[in-house]
Structure 1
């Protein structure tokens, strides 16, 4: 069981809502810092371990900066994400650039920053060489296909996923870049997202360590960095259990000592690129009940919509809901909790049992700290909401203002109409 608590009192969040206006996302800085420290401690047995935060999860420079202060790097997949990393002082091998169907300008920026470039396809070798030149170090993304069972609705089964090279292609690719003068080599995979079974990550490490050993045997190439990807899930539902990071770190250490050390290919840096599990549980979408509708069902309409959090509409994902001030009241009303988009799937919850909600009640939607604000959009002319950071001393900083109508119209030239 995971207790769904809030990092502020009812009076504090009401005061914040009155000052800044709803809706907004708010992130708990202290909890995020403690969480990334916990992950790093679980892997401190590996001196080269680094968490490369998946920028796509929460692409805000204030979040990236605080994580960089804790020693984390950045996992980037676009030009904008590379620029965000650069803005907070990350350069060189503190950045991994792991993209797909990549334009030349993005490879050139990654080369300029000295980032570790992780190629998604064997054909990208020639494209990178032509567009940006070959770096000293190259990594390849491995798609195990039928060799690794699993997958889910977010990434899909490995054989159906658009990402990565096959096993045979991996050997061909390493040989090719070695012949092109590459001196250092990395290995990467990412085959799951939002997984709560800790043993999945242990078995992924075993698969990757075995592959690194085969690359050494067949090509006499030493893999310097093994990136196990991210994919560690969070317990969105109260009945779910969070992944035991200490268990994952200890068990991967055992597999490392079983495979890597006896093979004589140590040291190998083990790294990860977690996003969701770092910030997800410590971000909240705060909104107000704006309308109540009673037809064939009972609806509560919020001043937020799926432009603020689209996971429920996109994946049918569950996000826990707290009605502020009514935490102890019985859950004896069934509601669809909705937004204002002209789309019937603009719903945060369907047939959810909640306490009686009145217009004006403050609603907190949990676990919105990753893939929440980041996935916002402007359909129906909806404007993305602001982001706030709850500081360890209780202060609140605004780290992204809300969009305005002027922002929405900024790319249009009305003078030509």
Structure 2
């Protein structure tokens, strides 16, 4: 029987760590080790990966919508895991499933759910995952007791907070709790299993601790139990000098003190929730970050006993979706109480301020979305209150880029060269922490990733492993990265062919076998009834011929694209042509009805202005689900900041106009962005569209859009097409009467294409090396347009060691003519052939003759 004197160790496992049998085997093994050490483990678990997003979709489903498919998918995920774990799902979760269905029915009836209801629904994920996990541990000989976190964590009452924050981002009391320790000591289990993310308030209502709040739950429990340590188990082995998913050369940080970890988490490092640091710091409880996939790795230790490593920058972080509030008035100069009035308005609206800068006539502050529920009406209320005594405006979306370390003020002279990366950037706010732990810049959101890459190259390229800095991400996961690369780097095997092509000048080269493999990948998604290639990605005739022979259709966005298809394939079945104009003139819609098999409408204006065009016509309507995804704001195609789609609040008007015109809506379409590598996107689109079936009696097809992403950087995981197929198969089983369509564009062609260009000149200015190429942004504008990353190698010297870091530039008379920043290359000379990878999509298709220079030609290798 466990002893009351045993030290507690709190272990938190995130969503990816609790979603498979293999991960639960790791959890069981780690718990056995802690028990053997003489400790008593207390386990905090998140919901299964992706379940919280599904529950969010359930809450946000349209009134009267089809919620059954979402409930069915959630239930199937838990049943599948229970089968793998060999536990009785009906005994464990039967009542939970019934409760979830009741809540889902309620969500479909009440329309906009209250925050209180929202919290009840989202809590279901953790309640279900932990029930399965505790039963599995028991089944494999680990004595485990399931506990409800809401009976152990109580939310603190905070005055002047709105309902969203009260129910969805609560804070809890976490002083040492003798009553809790006594209660747990009475049990005879070796391990206690409970939920992260959830607690209860004084009225007994369920509240949430904010997205990512399971870390905070674990920290609260560690503090209440006065634990020996807190272990956060996740899918990365610790904190790094930058986001390792974006920068594989980022180094593991072996040791951090609480303040440094707090700064990193607050300023954008996603490994830890910022609110989890304070409880363990107050109790001087060490926090260990560990990797469930690689439990043998050392990880990061956060404590109050870290050696003094001297003044230095330890990491660079970035945080997106930051909102600024700028307040202007000449009347504030020497005015007593202006700041009190201003911050009183923030308090009155329940908003906490993060960064602050002031001048004689302006105060600018940042609002962190992690700490605030930034509903539009909340910000509007704030601005209305502020405008009573100043000129207030909202700026955003912005990003925070922070240098984090110790005594940064004392080394500003050493950092001078690094600051040149901000040259010509719009810096909205500059903040140097009084604690001297960070130096922070607020910039346009689309510049953040580029700036972090350049800063990291400047500050960390020469670092080696020591007591503070551990191995790089590439060194830790090199084997896995090589596995990803091997699947995509076809050009290594065709190097001689490519060098021969490059002798005749710059060229885009496409590999036919890779194109065919990508088509086969998409066709393996059995639930799909039709696939339409979004030909704007690459309209080269030979590429189109290969796709036509494969039997897929073509999604066209202009008459010119339709005409190219008809010219190449005059006998093509017009139902293989889908026409999707956007803000196009009247005659293009008439053209589409004549020349294409299907036409997509994404605005009400054509129905209002030209109803006669739509009389007795079948149309597909593109809807805006309200939330976009993607690697850059220019490729996110949903939400108010995007020009695409009919907004949800226009659905009633849409129905009226369709009926008045005599049109028939036979399909609905949703597309949320590009470069997406999360498998649940398309099933979520399907659920959203299916929820609207009652509005359109002739609805028979759902176009789930495209946006399937590909790995572009070393270490990035590919989209799991098999998982996409599995999720859509579950939807199709629940909704067999719908046709499902998909529009992959970039996915089919991106990895099959490379850009080749010879080196024209090299140059060094100060510490910066430049490698000039015979073509630039006239051939490939993506890096200049939205900071897109493309792998760049010296194909002529592929096996030589990397000895230089260089800016890869073209011959165009623009400072922005840069194809790659701070790239590692071997010693490079005039005449060498440079290869730019993953360039088959939106490369030649977006090229120009700027400076009257011809873009790179195109070649297909069979």
Category of TM-score, reference length = shorter chain: 0.7 to 0.9
- Counterpart of 1:158 (choices 639, 649, 652) is 639
Q: Which runs of 5+ in 1 are unaligned?
A: 392-417
Where does 1:83-94 land on structure 2 (aligned, <5 Å)?
A: 83-89=563-569, 90-94=572-576
Where does 1:5-404 land on structure 2 (aligned, <5 Å)?
A: 5-7=489-491, 8-18=493-503, 21-42=504-525, 44-46=526-528, 49-89=529-569, 90-130=572-612, 132-134=613-615, 136-145=617-626, 148=627, 150=629, 152-156=632-636, 158-183=639-664, 185-212=666-693, 214-215=694-695, 219=696, 221-258=697-734, 260-261=735-736, 266=737, 268-296=738-766, 297-391=768-862
Distance 1:283 1:128, change over 3 A: farther
Kept after mapping to 2: 8 A contact 1:85/1:91: no
Instruction: Tell me which stretches of 4 or more aligned residues in structure 1 moved more than 4 Å.
Output: none
Kept after mapping to 1: 8 A contact 2:602/2:646: yes
Distance 1:354 1:134, change over 3 A: farther
Mapped to 1, the partners of 2:568 and 2:489 lie a distance apart of: 31
Indicate the RMSD between aligned Cα atoms, in angstroms: 1.9
Q: Which runs of 5+ in 2 are unaligned?
A: 1-480
Q: Which moved more, 1:246-255 or 1:365-374?
A: 246-255
Kept after mapping to 1: 8 A contact 2:598/2:620: yes
Distance 1:78 1:31, change over 3 A: same
Kept after mapping to 1: 8 A contact 2:499/2:796: no
Q: How many residues align?
A: 372
Mapped to 2, the partners of 1:92 and 1:128 lie a distance apart of: 24
Distance 1:28 1:127, change over 3 A: farther
Kept after mapping to 2: 8 A contact 1:24/1:387: yes
Kept after mapping to 2: 8 A contact 1:128/1:134: no
Kept after mapping to 1: 8 A contact 2:810/2:819: yes
The answer to which structure has the higher helix fraction is 2
Task: Give the SS at the match of 2:713.
Answer: coil
Mapped to 1, the partners of 2:590 and 2:545 lie a distance apart of: 24
Kept after mapping to 1: 8 A contact 2:764/2:770: yes
Mapped to 2, the partners of 1:276 and 1:334 lie a distance apart of: 29
| Residue equivalent to 2:217 | none
Mapped to 1, the partners of 2:608 and 2:566 lie a distance apart of: 26
Task: Give the SS at the match of 2:551.
Answer: coil
Kept after mapping to 1: 8 A contact 2:777/2:818: yes
Task: Give the SS at the match of 2:673.
Answer: coil
| Residue equivalent to 1:396 | none
Shift of 1:121: 0.6
Kept after mapping to 2: 8 A contact 1:209/1:256: no
Mapped to 2, the partners of 1:141 and 1:128 lie a distance apart of: 18
1:22-76 per-position Cα deviation (integer Å, ceiling 9, x unaligned): 101011112111211220121x244xx1111111100222212211111111111
1:181-226 per-position Cα deviation (integer Å, ceiling 9, x unaligned): 33451100111111112222332222222223x42xxx5x131111
Task: Give the SS at the match of 2:813.
Answer: coil
Mapped to 2, the partners of 1:312 and 1:11 lie a distance apart of: 27
Distance 1:135 1:273, change over 3 A: farther
Distance 1:341 1:359, change over 3 A: same
1:371-403 per-position Cα deviation (integer Å, ceiling 9, x unaligned): 000001122112122111111xxxxxxxxxxxx
